[in-house]
Structures are given as C-alpha cells and as structure tokens.
C-alpha cells in the first residue's frame, strides 16, 4: 500500500513548527485553523481547543 502524503499527525507537527507566537495570533484572529495538503488537497480543521492543545505541547 502506498504511504499517504499527509495525516492529521503530520499537520500537527507542521503547526507546531510555526511556533507559539504565530499560533497565538491565529487563535486570537481566527480561533481556528484550516490546513490544506498541497498534494491531495485534503483539508484538516483545527478548532480553538485543538490549537490550544498544540500550543501546550510546544
Ligand atoms: Zn495529502
């Protein structure tokens, strides 16, 4: 089976890599994040709660 180009776990890692300050701005302005995979166009939604959890893991 072919490996998938993306996963929620990978998108989470990408979000962590943009840094706490940037995530704080997203939380303040949008209160959510939507990440689209550039390869398969799959959308990943992150709620305020998800983003808060990601920030705490940084
Ligand atoms: Zn993908």
The pLDDT tens digits for 22-44 are: 999 999 999 999 999 999 999 99
Average pLDDT over residues 9-27: 96
Average pLDDT over residues 8-23: 96
Q: How far is the CA of 43 from the centre of ligand 1 (A)?
A: 8
CATH says 8-57 is which class?
Answer: alpha beta
Q: What is the mean pLDDT of the chain?
A: 95
Residue percentage of the chain with pLDDT more than 70: 97
Please tell me the distance from the alpha carbon of residue 23 to that of residue 25, in angstroms, as a whole number.
5
**DSSP label of 5:** S
State which residues have CB under 5 angstroms from ligand 1, the bound ion: 5-6, 37, 39-40, 42
Exposed/middle/buried for residue 54 (C-beta within 10 Å: 0-12, 13-18, 19+): buried
CB 51 within 8 Å of CB 33: yes
């Amino acid at each position: 089976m072919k490996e998938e180009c993306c996963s929620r776990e990978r998108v989470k890692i990408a979000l962590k890599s943009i840094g706490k300050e940037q995530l704080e701005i997203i939380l303040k302005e949008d209160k959510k994040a939507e990440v689209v995979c550039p390869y398969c166009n799959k959308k990943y939604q992150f709620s305020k709660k998800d983003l808060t959890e990601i920030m705490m893991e940084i």
